[in-house]
Amino acid sequence: MPDPDVTLAAIERARERIADRVRCTPILHNETLDTLLGAHLSFKCECLQQTGAFKARGAVNAVFSLSDDRLRAGVVTHSSGNHGAAVAYAARLRGVPATVVMPTNSSAAKFDAVRDLGARILTCEPTLTAREARAAQFVAETGAAFVHPYDDPDVIAGQGTLALELLQQQPDLDWVLVPVGGGGLLSGVATAVKALRPQIRVIGVEPARADDAARSFRLGSLVPYQVPDTIADGLRGALSERTLAIIRQRVDEIVTVSEQGIVAAMRTLWERLKVTVEASSAVPFAALLEAPPAMREAICGRRVGIVLTGGNVDLKTLPWS
Amino acid sequence: MPDPDVTLAAIERARERIADRVRCTPILHNETLDTLLGAHLSFKCECLQQTGAFKARGAVNAVFSLSDDRLRAGVVTHSSGNHGAAVAYAARLRGVPATVVMPTNSSAAKFDAVRDLGARILTCEPTLTAREARAAQFVAETGAAFVHPYDDPDVIAGQGTLALELLQQQPDLDWVLVPVGGGGLLSGVATAVKALRPQIRVIGVEPARADDAARSFRLGSLVPYQVPDTIADGLRGALSERTLAIIRQRVDEIVTVSEQGIVAAMRTLWERLKVTVEASSAVPFAALLEAPPAMREAICGRRVGIVLTGGNVDLKTLPWS
């Protein structure tokens, strides 16, 4: 297993690099939800971030970390979701062409978002193998720089900037809850939080139907990947050796939530916080709503930071309608 | 017509009075919408306000302006919507009982919101006459203090605090667009804006199907009130002598928008800004989307402040599903 290679210093450099290019997103509070959980909740609203998701942070940091020479042929990535739009956004800011390999079953809204940001789209079969192969082929043909959705120290450092903001906005947190898919966000957040406030408990949350991170975390090595079937489409990725190593070292716990719990949490956040979070975003809050008695008791009176990761949803097909 | 009796000084006092009791709401920007309109838009997100609407400002200012003696029997209001929850919220903060007269056809969500805030609910027939009569009867029986939804200088001054914040957050505005129903918000905002930055153009926007304010504004006197049929349920009220006087003196223009325009604007705001604004909130943005060529040209390159008034929607019945 490689040593974790993302440091607080890298995250602080990332913050400077991306400062004028992404938003410092607001924190929302809600008394009704606080009363419901018996805790003080601080929701970090990355759904209000550029491109509608925290992914802009990592993509901008990665693209702006590359040399002009390395970017001569532009950048490429593969993504069915928010990372594609984030790379398109970063490339547009940098003034280089972006290509996004997208599976044919991506939603029309995702295609539109990437296209509206000026990126070229290449479609492929909806499997991880096909995506990776198409992107690798494009790199071989053109020399474009590949920006991985999470297995990249610059991407992880960019995502970690979210935690620097959160700790500044809400210095007195006891817990931080973060969704986990490929683990880029959780790695970046845990690195920043444990370096600055080691007493804060960092908890990853993932759908029970996509629990590879929880199992890999317990086992200490990557479990075989199977495409998971969960409404939280942003969390279908699997940990890499790199993110597993960081998470094993810096994350306290990974818990899982049910599909019904995710939908209930999503709806409650829409109704109470008035933000259109996507299903993946609702996963950490679902962990609080579904908390077993021991966890419910443990959070009582605590100050809990919750990362709402994105807000890109198809309004025509809401899961409760 | 009475002299306008709300001053900048009253609004500044209101700001101090309500400072720790309501939120300073964030401004959101969106490049895609800016590009679409050719203007720089600043959305003031009162949907993220306490109780989910700007109404908390006016209600808190009014309730905290009353003496303990005046509040011995609590407060009462009538409202089918956000003002009821706002008065309930203000009364709870002040520690006095609140009673809200609500028409029987109010949504379950509105009943829940008022009840959850600890207020007593009295139901009545869904007419303005019935609401006013039931509230007046309650005042006569109990001596409770009545807090009008908009025809009250303290309520208007409270709503005006929104503009003080907006001008601080975004000092370089050219235009401010505000929805108009009973005119309390528009009166407060116009008073603050014209006192501080008279060069800013203040525009009221209302549904064409509820255009009493536009007609009264042009005529210079109140037109007869008919219950309007519009999806923007927060804008069904009619101007009072007081709000008409203030608006005639301080507002530059009132424009109207179509029902389809309101729905399209609402959906665009959900999709792009990621906030669950209610239909009434989408009315000013609809005016930009539907702007005739002359207005489209006039806003080109301008800095436009847009008040998103509230976010209380029934997620089960969205107008585009």
Cα separation values, A204 from A20, A241, A281, Å:
29, 17, 12
In chain B, what percentage of residues exceed pLDDT 90? 87
**Shortest Cα–Cα distance, B48 to chain A (Å):** 7
- Pairing relationship of beta strands B75-78 and B98-103 according to DSSP bridges: parallel
Q: What is the per-residue pLDDT for A4?
A: 58
Secondary structure string (H, E, C) spanning chain A: CCCCCCCHHHHHHHHHHHCCCCCCCCEECCHHHHHHHCCEEEEEEHHHCHHHECHHHHHHHHHHHCCCCCCCCCEEEECCCHHHHHHHHHHHHHCCCEEEEEECCCCHHHHHHHHHCCCEEEEECCCHHHHHHHHHHHHHHHCCEECCCCCCHHHHHHHHHHHHHHHHHCCCCCEEEEECCCCHHHHHHHHHHHHHCCCCEEEEEEEHHHCHHHHHHHHCCCCCCCCCCCCCHHHCCCCCHHHHHHHHHHCCEEEEECHHHHHHHHHHHHHHHCECCCHHHHHHHHHHHCCCHHHHHHHCCCEEEEEECECCCCCCCCCCC
- For the stretch A246-270, pLDDT in tens is 999 999 999 999 999 999 999 999 9
**Shortest Cα–Cα distance, B106 to chain A (Å):** 17
Query: Mutating which of A51, A272, A274, A276 best tests the B interface, going by the most B Cβ atoms within 10 A?
Result: A274
Q: What distance in Å separates the CA atoms of residue A142 and residue A120, rounded to the nearest whole number?
A: 14
In chain A, what percentage of residues exceed pLDDT 90? 87
In chain A, what percentage of residues exceed pLDDT 70? 99
Q: Is A274 at the interface with chain B, CB within 8 A?
A: yes
Q: What distance in Å separates the CA atoms of residue A99 and residue A26, rounded to the nearest whole number?
A: 31
Average pLDDT over residues B42-46: 98
Average pLDDT over residues B210-229: 92
**Shortest Cα–Cα distance, B273 to chain A (Å):** 7
- For the stretch B72-98, pLDDT in tens is 999 999 997 899 999 999 999 999 999
Whether A276 sits inside 8 A of B270 (CB atoms) is yes
Q: What is the per-residue pLDDT for A1?
A: 44
Which helix (DSSP H) or strand (DSSP E) does residue B177 occupy? strand B175-179
The confidence band for A55, taking pLDDT boundaries of 50, 70 and 90, is very high
Cα separation values, A11 from A18, A178, B88, Å:
10, 17, 45
Whether A316 sits inside 8 A of B316 (CB atoms) is no
Mean pLDDT of all residues belonging to chain B: 95
The confidence band for B2, taking pLDDT boundaries of 50, 70 and 90, is very low
- For the stretch A9-33, pLDDT in tens is 999 999 999 999 999 999 999 988 9
Whether A321 sits inside 8 A of B321 (CB atoms) is yes
Q: What distance in Å separates the CA atoms of residue B165 and residue A164, rounded to the nearest whole number?
A: 26
Residue in chain A closest to B26 (alpha carbons) equals: A26
Q: What is the per-residue pLDDT for A2?
A: 46
- pLDDT exceeds 80 at position A321: no
In chain B, what percentage of residues exceed pLDDT 70? 99
Q: HSE on the CB side for A274, CA within 13 Å? A: 29
Q: What is the per-residue pLDDT for A284?
A: 98
Q: What is the per-residue pLDDT for B57?
A: 98
Residues of B with Cβ-Cβ distance to A275 under 8 angstroms: 274-276
Instruction: Tokens for A195, please give them.
Output: 């370096």
The confidence band for A163, taking pLDDT boundaries of 50, 70 and 90, is very high
- pLDDT exceeds 90 at position A156: yes
Burial B131-143 (b: 16+ CB within 10 A, else e): beebbeebbeeee
- pLDDT exceeds 90 at position A177: yes
Average pLDDT over residues B259-269: 97
Residues of A with Cβ-Cβ distance to B35 under 8 angstroms: none
User: Could you identify the residue written with the tokens 């972006």?
Assistant: A98
Average pLDDT over residues A121-137: 93
Residues of A with Cβ-Cβ distance to B274 under 8 angstroms: 47-48, 52, 275-277, 311
- pLDDT exceeds 90 at position B109: no
Contacts across the A-B interface (CB distance below 8 Å): 55
Average pLDDT over residues B129-145: 96
Helices of type H across chain B: 8-18, 31-37, 55-65, 82-94, 108-116, 128-142, 153-169, 184-196, 212-219, 241-250, 259-273, 283-289, 293-299
- pLDDT exceeds 50 at position B1: no
Which of B28, B32, B316 lies at the smallest CB-CB distance from A48?
Answer: B28
Average pLDDT over residues A57-70: 98
- pLDDT exceeds 70 at position B63: yes
